[in-house]
Amino acid sequence: MKTLVKRFAQSKMFWPLIALICIIIINLILIPGFFDIKIYNGHLFGSPIDILNRMTPLLIISLGMTLVIAKEGIDISVGSVLAISATTAATLIQSHSIFIALLAAIGVGVLCGIWNGVLVAYIGVNPMVGTLILMTVGRGIAQLISNGQIITVHSKAYHFIGAGYLLGFPFSVFVAVVCFILLYFLMRKTAMGLFLEAVGGNQTSSRFAGINVKKIMFIVYVVSGICAAIAGILISSNVNSADANNAGLWIELDAILAVVIGGTSMSGGRFYLGGTVVAALFIQTITTTIYTMGIPPETVMVAKAVIVIIVCLLQSNAFREMFMRKKAVEV
Q: In CATH, what number is assigned to the domain containing residue 211?
A: 1.10.3470
Residue 254 lies in a domain: yes
Give the pLDDT mean for 98-120: 95
pLDDT at site 245 = 85
**Residue 38: domain span:** 11-293
Give the pLDDT mean for 286-309: 77
Residue 231 lies in a domain: yes
Phi, psi of 154 (to 5 degrees): -120, 20
pLDDT at site 205 = 86
pLDDT band, very low/low/confident/very high, at 177 (cuts 50, 70, 90): very high
pLDDT band, very low/low/confident/very high, at 74 (cuts 50, 70, 90): very high
pLDDT band, very low/low/confident/very high, at 277 (cuts 50, 70, 90): very high
What 3-state DSSP class applies to 38?
Answer: strand
Whether 210 has a pLDDT exceeding 60, the answer reads: yes
Q: What is the mean pLDDT of the chain?
A: 87
pLDDT at site 62 = 95
| CA geometry: angle 228, 83, 122, nearest 5 deg | 55
pLDDT at site 34 = 81
Residue 307 lies in a domain: no
> Structurally, how many domains does the chain consist of?
1
Distance in angstroms (rounded) separating the CA atoms of residues 132 and 140: 13
pLDDT band, very low/low/confident/very high, at 264 (cuts 50, 70, 90): confident
pLDDT at site 37 = 84
Residue 310 lies in a domain: no
Residue 37 lies in a domain: yes
Whether 166 has a pLDDT exceeding 70, the answer reads: yes
Residue 81 lies in a domain: yes
Residue 68 lies in a domain: yes
Residue 311 lies in a domain: no
How much of the chain exceeds pLDDT 90, in percent?
Answer: 40
Q: How many C-beta atoms lie closer than 10 Å to residue 186's C-beta?
A: 15
Q: Is 294 left (phi over 0), alpha (psi -120 to 50) or beta?
A: left
Give the pLDDT mean for 279-308: 80
